[in-house]
Structure 1
Amino acid sequence: MKKLLGTLTALSTVIFVHAQFSVRGKVTDTQHQALKGVSAVFSDVKGKTRSTISQEDGSFAISGLSNNSSGSLNLEFVGKKKVSKNISVDNSDVVIDVVMEDNNFFLEPLEVKALRATDKSPFTKTNLAKAEIEKNNIGQDLPFILNQTPSVVVNSDAGTGIGYTGIRIRGTDATRINVTLNGIPYNDAESQGTFFVDMPDAISSVNSIQIQRGIGTSTNGSGTFGATINLSTNEFNDKAYAESNNSYGSFNSWKNTIKVGSGLINDHFTVDARLSRISSDGYIDRASSNLQSFYFSTAYVNKKTSVRFNIISGKEKTYQAWNGVPESMLSTDRTYNSLGTDKPGAPYDNQTDNYQQDHYQLFVNQAINNNLSFNIATFLVHGKGYYEEYKGKRNYTDYGLNNVVFNGDTITQTDLIQRQWLDNYFYGQVFSLHYKKQNNELTFGGGWNKYDGGHYGKVLWAEFGGVPSDYQWYDNNAYKTDINVYAKWLHSFNNQWSIFADAQYRYVLYKMDGFKDNPSLYIRRPFNFFNPKAGITYTNNGWTAYASYAVAGKEPNRDDFEANPVDQPKAEQLQDFELAVEKKYSHFNFGATFYYMMYKDQLVLTGKMNDVGAYTRTNTPESYRAGIELQAGAVITNWLNINAGATFSRNKIKAFTEYLDDYDNGKQVGYEHKNVDISFSPSIIANGSINFLPCANFQLSLLSKYVGKQYLDNTQDNTRKISDYYTQDVRAIYTIKHLLFKEWNIAAQVNNVFNRMYESNGAAYPYISNNVKVNDNYYFPMAGINYMLSLNVKL
């Protein structure tokens, strides 16, 4: 923390330095209407680039230009023809007004626009463009790409950011973060988690990302309960391209990606494709990853219609590392992995998770007239795979098998190898109807989807035999139906004031035909949710302020339903209040967001055990998250810019009962707690970056991250916590243009340069023995100092 505060203090001492010259102007369409959100990029003859977007009145300004500099100004906007201007600076600012003509093709991805918050929407959001995504994409998974965005905390089972990874936003875990891919739900329907490992290197095909913190606008899929992540791959590339991206780093980590695109063929057709491979030995023992994926997309466009078909496929094989390291071993063997060690001698070499997921997406966008447009998308996701485990001393009867007589003795236990399978189909449609005229923008949309999931387990081998060929010891199916409709209205009173209203109805039906450990428990639970949202926004002269109120409901997940049939979980409800102010100057910006998220019946782990011996979540009546998110950035000179952010929060459960296993008496004992911190919810999260551009085509970045203390459970017990940590990464990027190929991009990133031994995740299993509370804590250590090198070539 001291290092971070020192960095932020150093930044504040230089933040108000004047810029040099600028290119500024105004962008309008052919009807003389101001265009907001136009991307303006200035590239000088040395290869340095600076960018901005146009404001509400169409104005833009790019500062920090030195005298006698020259280059090209490129302006791009969806649905408009690209504009390029040659610019020369001669002892004064350059002022230029630009008129952008309509494109002859319908290129706007409405399936994404329907769900994303616009600049006038009163919701807290962060947008990442393609250039920012590419800069961070050197092999790690999506959560690590987002690590420098506000209120984000990431973790990795293998300790490297490759393989199984996780993300929390404002303390909200991945099962409560709604994720969509081109407007189509991505969360697993049953667990509601997001397993990015199933779609490795998808980020290499993503053109833009929007993160909404809080409830945000209505979306498709799993209930939003703290954040949304919206990914888009459907932007058009009008020029042909080919790329080769290759990375190598610590722990024998490799990333190889090939991307090609046709551009517009005969003014109407496009084809884009990608082939990827990622592998790593992992920091944790045996936590290896072997990941492959491909992406194929083809589209037809004309002036009013676009049709696109996507195939996205991912296949992963990872050695299991989800048990964590016992607390007692952190100082002596912090890479220890207990999985696979049931096998006598060397650990079992195939203690792995194996899964393939295939996405098929078909989109039709149609402009009906200048004001009205329509979108419909149909999708199918098929996932199939298993995790294989060596299990020691297992009871035959637990697998529905008869005991074995061996050498005259009755054998009741055996070592065995088992596979637990998933075979599921997820399919449906989403749609939106968008109307915009003068001061009103209306969107009506929704979708339906169905999940059909098979769960079954097989025993492959047993030490003492007694297992029939292809033996299956459980087979349980699960089904989920999800239907939603929403209406959104944005009304602008004038150039400064606008209001937003959004209402969604969502229906969910779960049906589960038993569970592995409770085959006679049949679930049929319907849920109805009404999710209203409203807010007001003010924008003027670089200032933006908004206030909003939103309500969301969320259904329990699969594990929650495995509770006692007479104690089934209730749905959760969240009310979210957001208040924000932001100011943008040509070379400096700052902002603050205040939030209060009030939960009713939030499901939390209490240690309570159900009737089959599993720990389940329990509804707690009242809890909340309250905080402030601060952000600032500045362009100090044409060779230095900085960004910093910090979140300060309180995350509390007002009252709940903790249950501990009492091994002395063979029962559970309850302890009352009041006003305690919610688990995995640090009260401070901060990030900062300093970017140096000392010469043409070279950028050096210092990336800082601080995460405050987190508790492993909801008791606020300091003996069950993850200590705070600060990490510092360094990234260098050098670009060579027009040497044999169009562009060479050489990058090096050193992570955790101070070699901090820290943990990003963990679990606690306390109990009572000999009348004493005993902590049984497990942690997921992150790698010390490590590196990645990359060479990217654009043909």
Structure 2
Amino acid sequence: MIKRLLTVTILSFFVGMAMAQHSLTIHVTDADRNEPLLGASVRLSGTLYRGQTNASGVVVLRNVRAGTYDIQVSYIGYEPQTQQAAVTENQDVRFALSRATVLADEVVVRATRAGENMATTYKNMSEEDIAKNNLGQDLPYLLDQTPGVVISSDAGAGIGYTSMRIRGSDGQRTNVTINGIPLNDAESLGSFFVNLPDFASSVDNIQIQRGVGTSTNGAGAFGASLNIQTNTLNKDAYAELDNSYGSYNSWKNTVRLGTGLIDGKFSFDGRLSRIKSDGYIDRAMSDMQSFFLSGAWHGKNSLLRANVFGGKEKTYQAWYGTPESRLIGDVDGMHAYADEELTNYERENLLRSDRRYNKYLYDNETDNYQQTHYQLLFSSALTDQLTLNTALHYTRGKGYYEQFRDDDAYVDYGLLPVVINGSTINQLDLVRQRWLDNHFYGGTYSLAYKDSKGLEITWGGAYNQYEGGHYGDIVWSQYPLFTDDALPVDGDGSFKTSYRYYNGDATKKDFNTYLKASYQLNKLFLFADVQYRHINYAIAGIDNDLRDLTQDASFDFFNPKVGLTYQLSAASNVYASYALANKEPVRSDFTDWPIGQTPKAEQLHDIEVGYRIRSQQFNIGVNGYAMLYKNQLVPTGQLNDVGSTLRRNVDDSYRIGLEFDGRWAPTRWFSWGATLAYSQNKIKNFTEVVGDVENFYETTVISFSPNWVASSELAFKPWKPVELALLSKYVSRQYLDNTGNKDRSIDGFFVNNIRVAYNTSLWKLKNLGLTLLVNNIFNEKYASSGYTWGYYLSEADRVDYNFYYPQATANFLLGLNLKF
């Protein structure tokens, strides 16, 4: 069957190439002034072509097969147009674009985006791309087919806490903005999409910039930037219902409504979502709700938009992972681990479980968090060449996770042992809650100038402030917390009490300003970008280990970038860029660092070189990169007591790699998208410290940095309403620590999913859609992330415990979409 399919595909390709082919020349001008429009976007329906006009306002498409095509042309500030062209010979098609009656939402993110000819390695994802797999899994899972991405899920099936690495760099190194406003948590620098469940249903487009990328707001990008734009203007009223059900009792229910454009000036959009799942891992349930509300006033030259969105999540803890001994069925190993770490009932849980093991057994061992975002966006086209963007924002977050603790010592909570009936009690069972209570607010701005001769200058920046409280309460205890406490209040003799055992706060002030300039000179496109960033981070109070964390750190960063792109032809270009980036340590680097030591800021020199070619049948991007670090904070492979990665500075390290991103569509019914990333990720002169033992490595591998990451999407459309797709992902071996030791590593894995989609209009429905996504069809038993810790019994006798996050075996999601 597969051989026959390949034969048909190859034959159809050569038949298609042999068919009559012609050139199609597209001219785009301003309707009022009859002047050519440089940089107008041009799309050819039924093909992969996405291009831009040159300085003469022209796009020339060669080798266009005979047929009928819809040509779509758009340009910011102008009304988009579509013309149908029946190509039977060489043909010219002319577009005269009229000024838009309202200012488009695209201007909101323009300052932080890489353009078509910019010397930046990037990938754009449209609303249609995102919607294909949007059946309830978290946003990282919808980006899995992009270059160099490795995803993982604590609960195993992509619902709940998920993570994503790009080029081996985790979420703390990926700068995420929503409408140009930072999403990354100001202290951890991570982005937690679990706090915004089903956010993808309110996203219009995403640009992923790999490497340092262009200057933007928020934390510096050390692996990638994720630039997200939420829903833009839909001029027609609409209603949409999205429902899906799948394995592990997973549900997603979404309602979207929009008024369209009212009186030519106003629009309102809204979404409500609920996602629930029992999770693949035992008890790793998720119960999440979210909303998105947006209202806008659209003027001819101005746009005012208010967004309010947020989410509430309750997830059962699953971050502890599964011991290696449990995964391979090593009973002796499980007993050895239990002797070190577990109580008797936890031992029994481990022995009778399987790869879906969860250490936690307390009914309310849950994470509970609610986050609400407020955005006020204003854009104005001050003149034909000058555009102003400003935004105010405020994010309110509050929540806790609850833990049951066995036989904790009173002294660990700053308490003296209690005396009951003459007996001294030193340890007790208790339930504690650790809270976050934070506010994040600020403003962003950009002023962009663009003329018709290819010059563009943007000045922008932001000021943001974070204020966060960290505190912990004991909410139940087996014994009284103080000797003079009252008698037990429950019939079982337990004590219900409340005691705050630590309390601290943090303030972070972040200011940045940047200046970007680009200029097109014939076939040469020049780009320069410089950013200044100042951060002040102050911590005060007592942490959960009762240490006084009071300290103050300030950082001043100067981040220049420069690049050039040369247009080889109307369809292809080469580019090269250099960027310097600096990044501050995160909260856990300060709180978990050994007493008396201070983490250093990181520095990165990023060199990118690439080649891009676009045509109707294929789009290809090939690039090489060298990311050279000074004082990189690399994961040690260990976690702290709340599941956060422990890190340490290393003097000299690098990531050097090659990436391929391509799509081939030889016919209208078949396309093949593929990515391939190869990299070498090394630390020079690394010393591993385990207890009192030091091990030196002249060159070693950076943890969680696979040499190979590849993806493939084979898509077939046997008839118009139906699409069949095979999605494949390969990730090579990853190491849990920085020693390159195979005994502390994650095996490589190759996972395949199938997607079957049917979409059609029916009666008064704009769309009736059915999507079936079957994940891991070959039942691969794999883990995508993990951690390790160990110690030496003697100089030659080392003990290591590896933990993994097993991912779900074969599972499905079935979705129904109705658009009115």
Q: TM-score range by the shorter chain?
A: over 0.9
**1:245 maps onto 2:242 in alignment:** yes
| Equivalent residue for 1:436, pick from 438, 450, 467 | 450
Question: Where does residue 59 of structure 1 map in the other structure?
Answer: 59
**1:415 maps onto 2:429 in alignment:** yes
Distance 1:39 1:382 in 2: 41
Distance 2:41 2:577 in 1: 26
Question: Where does residue 593 of structure 1 map in the other structure?
Answer: 623
Change (3 A) 1:425 1:9: farther
Q: Gaps spanning 5+ residues in structure 1: where?
A: 43-48, 341-346, 662-667
Question: Where does residue 333 of structure 2 map in the other structure?
Answer: none
Question: Where does residue 579 of structure 2 map in the other structure?
Answer: 550
**1:321 maps onto 2:318 in alignment:** yes
| Equivalent residue for 2:506, pick from 478, 481, 484 | 478
**1:302 maps onto 2:326 in alignment:** no
Measured after TM superposition, the shift of residue 635 of structure 1 is 1.1
Question: Where does residue 344 of structure 1 map in the other structure?
Answer: none
Question: Where does residue 112 of structure 1 map in the other structure?
Answer: 109
**1:256 maps onto 2:270 in alignment:** no
Secondary structure (helix, strand or coil) at the match of 2:743 reads: coil
Cα offsets for 1:255-299 (capped at 9, x unmatched): 111111111110011101000111111000001111100000001
Question: Where does residue 645 of structure 1 map in the other structure?
Answer: 675
Aligned-partner residue type, residue 498 of structure 1: F
Question: Where does residue 786 of structure 1 map in the other structure?
Answer: 811
* TM alignment of 1:546-585, pairs within 5 A: 546-562=575-591, 563-585=593-615
| Equivalent residue for 1:449, pick from 446, 459, 464 | 464
**1:220 maps onto 2:196 in alignment:** no
| Equivalent residue for 1:397, pick from 398, 403, 411 | 411
Measured after TM superposition, the shift of residue 464 of structure 1 is 1.8
| Equivalent residue for 1:357, pick from 359, 371, 377 | 371
Change (3 A) 1:8 1:755: farther
**1:684 maps onto 2:708 in alignment:** yes
* TM alignment of 1:647-666, pairs within 5 A: 647-661=677-691
Cα offsets for 1:384-436 (capped at 9, x unmatched): 00000111010112112332233432111111100000000000000000001
| Equivalent residue for 1:179, pick from 176, 181, 189 | 176
Secondary structure (helix, strand or coil) at the match of 2:562 reads: strand
Measured after TM superposition, the shift of residue 106 of structure 1 is 1.2
Q: Is the 8 A contact 1:212 1:227 kept in 2?
A: yes
Aligned-partner residue type, residue 541 of structure 1: A
Question: Where does residue 768 of structure 1 map in the other structure?
Answer: 792
Measured after TM superposition, the shift of residue 241 of structure 1 is 1.2
Cα offsets for 1:689-724 (capped at 9, x unmatched): 111010121111111111011000100000000101
Measured after TM superposition, the shift of residue 102 of structure 1 is 1.4
Change (3 A) 1:673 1:9: farther
Measured after TM superposition, the shift of residue 38 of structure 1 is 2.4
**1:635 maps onto 2:633 in alignment:** no
Secondary structure (helix, strand or coil) at the match of 1:251 reads: coil
Change (3 A) 1:132 1:303: same
Question: Where does residue 519 of structure 2 map in the other structure?
Answer: 491
Question: Where does residue 346 of structure 2 map in the other structure?
Answer: none
**1:510 maps onto 2:537 in alignment:** yes
Secondary structure (helix, strand or coil) at the match of 2:200 reads: helix
Secondary structure (helix, strand or coil) at the match of 1:143 reads: helix
Change (3 A) 1:278 1:457: same
Q: Is the 8 A contact 1:698 1:735 kept in 2?
A: yes
Q: Is the 8 A contact 2:639 2:787 kept in 1?
A: no
Measured after TM superposition, the shift of residue 92 of structure 1 is 5.4
Aligned-partner residue type, residue 504 of structure 1: Q
Distance 2:519 2:70 in 1: 37
Distance 2:12 2:782 in 1: 31
Q: Is the 8 A contact 2:316 2:366 kept in 1?
A: yes
**1:524 maps onto 2:552 in alignment:** yes
Distance 2:633 2:26 in 1: 51
Question: Where does residue 721 of structure 2 map in the other structure?
Answer: 697
* TM alignment of 1:709-748, pairs within 5 A: 709-748=733-772
Change (3 A) 1:22 1:73: farther
Q: Is the 8 A contact 2:774 2:811 kept in 1?
A: yes
Secondary structure (helix, strand or coil) at the match of 2:131 reads: helix
Q: Is the 8 A contact 1:291 1:316 kept in 2?
A: yes
Question: Where does residue 208 of structure 1 map in the other structure?
Answer: 205
Secondary structure (helix, strand or coil) at the match of 1:114 reads: helix
Secondary structure (helix, strand or coil) at the match of 1:559 reads: helix
Change (3 A) 1:337 1:94: farther
Measured after TM superposition, the shift of residue 491 of structure 1 is 0.9
Change (3 A) 1:439 1:95: closer
Cα offsets for 1:67-110 (capped at 9, x unmatched): 6xx68555444432232435556x65775332221111111443
Distance 1:646 1:609 in 2: 30
What's the C-alpha RMSD, in Å, of the aligned pairs? 2.5
**Which range moved further: 733-742 or 674-683?**
733-742
**Which range moved further: 507-516 or 444-453?**
507-516
* TM alignment of 1:116-131, pairs within 5 A: 116-131=113-128
Aligned residue pair count: 766
**Which range moved further: 227-236 or 480-489?**
227-236
Q: Is the 8 A contact 1:327 1:778 kept in 2?
A: yes
Measured after TM superposition, the shift of residue 197 of structure 1 is 0.3
Change (3 A) 1:64 1:351: farther
Q: Is the 8 A contact 2:235 2:261 kept in 1?
A: yes
Measured after TM superposition, the shift of residue 473 of structure 1 is 0.6
Question: Where does residue 45 of structure 1 map in the other structure?
Answer: none
Distance 1:121 1:776 in 2: 47
Q: Is the 8 A contact 2:48 2:618 kept in 1?
A: no
Secondary structure (helix, strand or coil) at the match of 1:695 reads: coil
Q: Is the 8 A contact 1:728 1:752 kept in 2?
A: yes
Distance 2:179 2:155 in 1: 29
Q: Is the 8 A contact 1:54 1:60 kept in 2?
A: no
Q: Is the 8 A contact 1:25 1:98 kept in 2?
A: no
| Equivalent residue for 1:535, pick from 550, 556, 563 | 563
Measured after TM superposition, the shift of residue 740 of structure 1 is 3.7
Q: Is the 8 A contact 1:306 1:364 kept in 2?
A: yes
Q: Is the 8 A contact 2:310 2:370 kept in 1?
A: yes
Distance 2:527 2:214 in 1: 10
Distance 2:320 2:712 in 1: 32
Distance 1:9 1:569 in 2: 58
Change (3 A) 1:9 1:742: closer
Distance 1:366 1:509 in 2: 32
Question: Where does residue 476 of structure 2 map in the other structure?
Answer: 461
Q: Is the 8 A contact 2:42 2:71 kept in 1?
A: no
Secondary structure (helix, strand or coil) at the match of 2:112 reads: coil
Q: Gaps spanning 5+ residues in structure 2: where?
A: 330-352, 486-496
